[in-house]
Amino acid sequence: MALSTQDSDDDSHYVLVAKLDNARNMTTMLKAIHFKDTAIVFASENGLKVTVEDAKCVLANAFIQSELFQQYQLRVEQITFSINLTVLMECLNIFGAASQPSSATSLKMCYEGYGHPLVLMLEDSGVLTDCSIKTQESNETLDFNFNSANVVNKIIIKSECLKEAFSELDMTSEVLEILMSPDKPHLRLSTFGNAGTIQSDFPKDSEMVEQFLCSERTVNRYKIVLLKPSVKALMVSMRTSIRTDNRGFLSMQYMIKMDDGQICFAEYFCSPDEDFDAS
């Protein structure tokens, strides 16, 4: 493969060099959180974390661990920069969103440091192209302070049944209500739109529920407009972890299987609807 045979000595001035034999793996993860133009990229020895937020009410992270890359070289402890995610996605798909399975697009990604662009070199079927994307200094990201010690309820469920449930819920509703309880109905999703009240229940003994840890009954509502982007991650995931903390904040973690069988995670955090009082 042309990208992997390039002399690594040429990379000595880059602080980050990452290579993927199949760029689709990265595209899949970025697509799962692509609901705003601007993203913040964090690079550490563990890999890349790409963060998108909106209205100080919802935040999404995509984790692309270093093991996923065929080469991952970071010459500093940590890198942070802001980038136009829409442009990055367009560059990654420059050979077409659905390349032939027999000829995956390979990717080499390089970053020289503060003030420099992110350079992408892509190859597909012997055709090479490169893109240079402007980066900017990143703003401070939203901190939901979602601590696992404060988690009240946690349910891990197969994404298949959640996809079906989301397709049946009334998206004309302003909010999605999530009830989690040690007793029946255990997990209930409700909308209140033009079609009236629509509910989907998931008993804890269902074969679709893989883990059920509920210490108390909670009812929280979240604005549908904030949760809609998370459906992108849900649609490509295998399993979903739903957690709420003692403030009613929602965490949804999605397990996503790559083409090569490796597992990556995307997560969404959402603040509760302040206008709703469950009491």
| Nearest alpha-carbon partner for 37 in 15, 52, 19, 22 | 52
- DSSP letters spanning 4-31: GGS-GGGGTT-SEEEEES-THHHHHHHH
Q: Residue 101's pLDDT is what?
A: 52
| Residue-wise pLDDT tens digits, 89-132 | 999 988 875 445 556 889 999 999 999 999 999 999 889 999 99
Q: Residue 276's pLDDT is what?
A: 59
Whole-angstrom distance, CA of residue 240 vs CA of residue 232: 13
Q: Residue 103's pLDDT is what?
A: 67
Whole-angstrom distance, CA of residue 120 vs CA of residue 135: 13
Q: Residue 5's pLDDT is what?
A: 44
* Bond prior to 185 in cis (omega within 30° of 0): yes
Average pLDDT over residues 206-233: 92
Give me the sheet containing 196-202, strands edge to edge. 196-202, 187-193, 175-180, 218-223
Structure tokens at 135: 């980066």
- For 32-50, b where at least 16 C-beta lie within 10 A, e where not — what string? bbbbeebbbbbbeeebbbb
- pTM (two decimals): 0.89
Residue 219 has pLDDT above 50, yes or no: yes
